[in-house]
Structure 1
Amino acid sequence: MTDVLVLVDHTDGELKNATAELLTAARVFGTPAAVVVGKPGTAAKLADTLGAYGAGEILAAESDSAGTYLLSEEVDTLVALAAERQVPVVVTGSAAGKEIAGRVATLTGSGVLADVVAINADGSAKYSIFGGDFIVDGGGFGASPVYALRPGSVDPEEAPASPAVTEVAFPEAPDAPVEIVSFTPAEGGDRPELTEAKIVVAGGRGVASAEGFADVVEPLADALGAAVGASRAAVDAGYYPGQFQVGQTGKTVSPDLYIALGISGAIQHKAGMQTSKTVVSVNKDEEAPIFEISDLGIVGDLFDVTPALTDKVK
Structure 2
Amino acid sequence: MTATSQILVVAEHDHGSIRSATLNTVAAALQCGTGVHVLVAGHQAAGAASAAAAIPGVARVLHVDAAHLADGLAENIAAQVVALAAGYGHILFPATSAGKNVAPRVAALLDVAQVSEIVRVVSPDTFERPIYAGNALVTVQSSDPVKVLTVRVTGFDAVPAEGGAAQIDTVDPVTDSGLSTFVECLVAKSDRPELADAQIVVSGGRALGSSEKFAEVLTPLADKLGAALGASRAAVDAGFAPNDWQVGQTGKIVAPQLYVACGISGAIQHLAGMKDSKVIVAINKDPEAPIFSIADYALEADLFDAVPQLVNAI
TM-score by length of 2: 0.91
Q: Aligned equivalents of 1:144 and 1:118: distance in 2?
A: 18
State which of 16, 20, 27 in structure 2 corresponds to 1:13: 16
What is the match of residue 81 of structure 1? 84
Quick check: 1:192 aligned with 2:193?
Answer: yes
Deviation at 1:46, TM superposition (A): 3.9
What is the match of residue 120 of structure 1? 122
Q: Equivalent residue of 2:308, what SS? A: helix
What is the match of residue 108 of structure 1? 110
Quick check: 1:66 aligned with 2:69?
Answer: yes
Q: Aligned equivalents of 2:256 and 2:71: distance in 1?
A: 33
Q: What are the ranges of 5 or more consecutive residues in structure 2 without an aligned counterpart?
A: none
Q: Aligned equivalents of 1:164 and 1:24: distance in 2?
A: 19
What is the match of residue 214 of structure 1? 215
Mapped contact 1:93–1:115 kept (Cα < 8 A) = yes
Q: Equivalent residue of 1:308, what SS? A: helix
Deviation at 1:149, TM superposition (A): 1.1
State which of 114, 135, 138 in structure 2 corresponds to 1:136: 138
Deviations 1:144-184 (A, max 9, x none): 21221113332223383311111122121226x12112222
Q: Aligned equivalents of 1:117 and 1:287: distance in 2?
A: 30
What is the match of residue 311 of structure 1? 312
Mapped contact 1:250–1:272 kept (Cα < 8 A) = yes
What is the match of residue 47 of structure 1? 50
What is the match of residue 275 of structure 1? 276
Mapped contact 2:68–2:176 kept (Cα < 8 A) = no
Mapped contact 1:20–1:53 kept (Cα < 8 A) = no
Mapped contact 2:259–2:277 kept (Cα < 8 A) = yes
Partner AA of 1:88 in structure 2: H
Quick check: 1:26 aligned with 2:29?
Answer: yes
What is the match of residue 152 of structure 1? 154
What is the match of residue 38 of structure 1? 42
Deviation at 1:37, TM superposition (A): 0.8
State which of 45, 57, 61 in structure 1 corresponds to 2:60: 57
14-23 or 282-291, larger mean C-alpha shift: 14-23
67-76 or 294-303, larger mean C-alpha shift: 67-76
Deviation at 1:113, TM superposition (A): 1.7
What is the match of residue 291 of structure 2? 290
Q: What are the ranges of 5 or more consecutive residues in structure 1 without an aligned counterpart?
A: none
Q: Aligned equivalents of 2:157 and 2:295: distance in 1?
A: 21
Mapped contact 1:232–1:245 kept (Cα < 8 A) = yes
Q: Aligned equivalents of 1:201 and 1:150: distance in 2?
A: 21
Q: Equivalent residue of 1:152, what SS? A: helix
Q: Aligned equivalents of 1:157 and 1:9: distance in 2?
A: 15
Q: Equivalent residue of 1:14, what SS? A: coil
- Fraction of identical pairs, as percent: 37
Q: Aligned equivalents of 1:198 and 1:50: distance in 2?
A: 26
Aligned length: 309
Q: Aligned equivalents of 2:209 and 2:75: distance in 1?
A: 42
Mapped contact 1:20–1:50 kept (Cα < 8 A) = no
Partner AA of 1:258 in structure 2: Y
Mapped contact 1:200–1:228 kept (Cα < 8 A) = yes
Q: Aligned equivalents of 2:114 and 2:13: distance in 1?
A: 22
Deviation at 1:68, TM superposition (A): 5.2
Q: CA RMSD in A?
A: 2.0
The within-5 A match list for 1:218-257 is 218-257=219-258
What is the match of residue 185 of structure 2? 183
Deviation at 1:231, TM superposition (A): 0.8
